[in-house]
Amino acid sequence: MTAREAAQPAPDMAEAPCRWAVVGGGMLGLTLALRLHQAGQRVTVFEAAPSFGGLASAWRVGDVVWDRYYHVIMQTDARLRSLLTELGLERDIRWEVTRTNFYTGRSMHPLNNVFDYLRLPTLGPLDKARLAATILYASRIEDGRPLEKLSAAAWLTRLSGEATYRNLWQPLLRSKLGSNESKASAAYIWSVIRRFYGARQGGMQKEMFGYVPGGYGRILEALLQRLEAAGVTLQVNAPVTSVGPVPGGLTVKTGEGVQRFDRVVNTCAAPIALQACEGLSADERARHAAIKYQGIVCASLLLTRPLGGAYLTYITDESIPFTTVIEMTSLVDRALTGGKHLVYLPRYLPADDPLLDVADDEIEARFLPALMRMFPDLKRDEITAFKVTRTRHVLALSTLDYSDRLPPMATALPGLFIVNSAQIVNASLSVNETVNLANEAAAMLLSQPAVAGAAAR
Ligand SMILES: Cc1cc2nc3c(=O)[nH]c(=O)nc-3n(C[C@H](O)[C@H](O)[C@H](O)COP(=O)(O)OP(=O)(O)OC[C@H]3O[C@@H](n4cnc5c(N)ncnc54)[C@H](O)[C@@H]3O)c2cc1C
């Protein structure tokens, strides 16, 4: 079934389009809006920020406009590629072979093929063989849900051995999850391995990533143009402060006033959705509140020279305050960034980590000396821009029995749905999975019976 077919209206809705409010104008809210519109519904999107796109939005660093957070497309991203085909952008994707490094023990190691793995320090020959076998085994598991029964630590130790867990997996998990490391289920690490292994052509051979020239800014522009042309109402600077019941429908309150809708879909992260949504049962509230989120602090840098040429450098050295180095222009053509080298320094952390509240100057003071330790020939005057962004609720962490404890999308308040990226199970967070969730959720939303007393329009 195609996404368009999935979004066809249920028979009882065919003659009476509903008025839908979509709260949140990230890729999820916008794709949902498109699917609801394609099914003949009347849709308004409310976005709190001054522009659409959320985590995928673009911003300006120095004189370069590119994604606020780094994004790549994988060849296996079928749902996203299908949306890009609808938007006329799929054929523009540029695919490039990229390189990966590993920074451990205060030194840099390439990690691109079997021979690089064999040369990795800190692991013995048997450990390396078990590590390779772990990755291969994990990448072949199709359904990761049974792995929600096991902790990541127990699973990885069993497969790779104590030494490899201690020397490689645990530092990697810590760098990604901070104090949430011990709470991650095996399904979390499985989904990450599976996604990144999918970027490798021919097993351990070459890593291949793609991007659309113009980045997600261009993708969003095309999506917004499509929605506007279709008559979808798009409101920015419109944080929704409450959604509540009225006879036969729901009200949505923003700073501009109160509007009435037949149905509302809130696509914001659970803590934000909880604040705004009235009428949820105590059980639903408890389920949303129990979801553990990872946040992120991420610096974008412009350089006058390349760093090391690897798209990804994983870091397990705890003296480095960021998690990874992403050299975007080792993938993206520098003609698109005015000849500048664009680098991201992300730090993932639990949503309650105090670093999320640290001032930008202080982040710069901590990050730059560490970057220069990693790349000793990098000079301060070769860094021409440094800009920090942060988001508290990015990734809902797969913890033990995660999918059993998820709240349902249809809430106790008739006509109100909470559909957010926490509902992505059996996969890791990506725009591809976000589009897939939007497609599937639209089909579910459209099959719901009408709210009693809702007037046909
Ligand atoms: C560092 C990083 C790197 C990534 N890399 C990749 C990658 O390489 N490839 C890939 O496919 N994916 C990647 N992703 C994931 C991708 O960005 C997400 O899957 C996707 O953007 C999530 O979209 P969303 O709409 O679910 O959430 P969001 O983008 O968070 O959208 C939620 C929206 O709701 C709005 N909102 C919040 N409160 C309110 C309110 N009260 N009223 C109205 N609106 C509100 C927010 O402003 C936001 O726009 C990455 C993410 C990050 C953070």
In this structure, what CATH number is given to the domain that contains residue 279?
3.50.50.60
Residues 283 and 299 in one domain: no
Q: Of 12-26, 65-79, 332-346, 395-409, which gets the smallest average pLDDT? A: 12-26
Closest residue (by CA) to atom 52 of ligand 1?
A: 69
Residues 280 and 427 in one domain: yes
Residues 257 and 406 in one domain: yes
**Residue 305 to residue 377: CA distance in whole angstroms:** 11
Residue 139 in any domain: the answer is: yes
Contact 220, 53 (CB under 8 A): yes
Closest residue (by CA) to atom 13 of ligand 1?
A: 430
Q: What share of the chain is helix, strand, coil (3-state, %, to 5)?
A: 40, 25, 35
Residues 306 and 388 in one domain: yes
- Closest atom of ligand 1 to 239 CA is 42
Residue type, 308: G
Determine if ligand 1 sits within 6 Å of the CB of residue 348: no
Average pLDDT, the chain: 92
Q: Is 336 helix (H, G, I), strand (E, B) or coil?
A: helix
Provide the pLDDT confidence category of residue 121 given band limits of 50, 70 and 90. confident
What pLDDT score was predicted for residue 15?
Answer: 53
Indicate the residue among 202, 229, 247 that finishes a domain: 202
Residue 440 in any domain: the answer is: yes
Determine if ligand 1 sits within 6 Å of the CB of residue 295: no
Query: Mutation test of ligand 1: which of 71, 98, 356, 433 has the most ligand atoms closer than 8 Å to its C-beta?
Result: 71
What's the token pair of residue 428? 């890791």
Residues 358 and 440 in one domain: no
Indicate the residue among 360, 380, 396 that finishes a domain: 396
What pLDDT score was predicted for residue 158?
Answer: 97
Determine if ligand 1 sits within 6 Å of the CB of residue 424: no
CA torsion sign, 154 to 155 to 160 to 164? Answer: negative
Closest residue (by CA) to atom 33 of ligand 1?
A: 24
Indicate the residue among 150, 179, 202 that finishes a domain: 202
Place of tokens 């409310």: 46
**Residue 98 to residue 94: CA distance in whole angstroms:** 12
Query: What's the CATH code of the domain at 315?
Result: 3.90.660.20
Residue 302 in any domain: the answer is: yes
Residues 155 and 278 in one domain: no
Q: pLDDT for 71-111, tens place per residue?
A: 999 999 999 999 999 999 999 999 999 999 989 878 898 88
Provide the pLDDT confidence category of residue 221 given band limits of 50, 70 and 90. very high
- Closest atom of ligand 1 to 298 CA is 1
Q: Could you tell me what percent of the chain has a pLDDT over 90?
A: 79
The answer to whether residue 382 scores a pLDDT higher than 90 is yes
Residue 225 in any domain: the answer is: no
What's the token pair of residue 231? 């008559």
Closest residue (by CA) to atom 27 of ligand 1?
A: 26
Range of the domain at 170: 115-202
Residues 23 and 75 in one domain: no
Residues 280 and 316 in one domain: no
**Residue 101 to residue 13: CA distance in whole angstroms:** 53
Q: pLDDT for 8-33, tens place per residue?
A: 544 444 457 899 999 999 999 999 99
Residue type, 187: A
Distance in Å, CA 198 to ligand 1 centroid: 22
Residues 148 and 197 in one domain: yes
Neighbours of 118 (CB within 10 A): 12
The answer to whether residue 279 scores a pLDDT higher than 60 is yes
Residues 405 and 389 in one domain: no
Q: Is 394 helix (H, G, I), strand (E, B) or coil?
A: strand
Residue 391 in any domain: the answer is: yes
Helix (H) or strand (E) holding 273: helix 270-276
**Residue 397 to residue 422: CA distance in whole angstroms:** 8
Count of domains observed in the chain: 3
What pLDDT score was predicted for residue 11?
Answer: 42
Residue 34 in any domain: the answer is: yes
Contact 409, 419 (CB under 8 A): yes
Query: Mutation test of ligand 1: which of 23, 55, 241, 298 has the most ligand atoms closer than 8 Å to its C-beta?
Result: 55
Residue 338 in any domain: the answer is: yes
Provide the pLDDT confidence category of residue 2 given band limits of 50, 70 and 90. very low
First CA to last CA distance, the chain: 29
Q: Three-state SS across 212-262? A: CCCHHHHHHHHHHHHHHHCCCEEECCCCCCEEEEECCEEEEEECCEEEEEC
> How buried is 400 (Cβ within 10 angstroms: 0-12 exposed, 13-18 middle, 19+ buried)?
middle
Per-residue pLDDT, averaged over 296-313, amounts to 96
Residues 368 and 312 in one domain: yes
Residue 52 — φ and ψ, nearest 5°? -85, 165
Residue 352 — φ and ψ, nearest 5°? -100, 15
Determine if ligand 1 sits within 6 Å of the CB of residue 83: no
Report pTM: 0.94
Residue 273 in any domain: the answer is: yes
Residues 345 and 197 in one domain: no
Closest residue (by CA) to atom 35 of ligand 1?
A: 24
Per-residue pLDDT, averaged over 219-236, amounts to 98
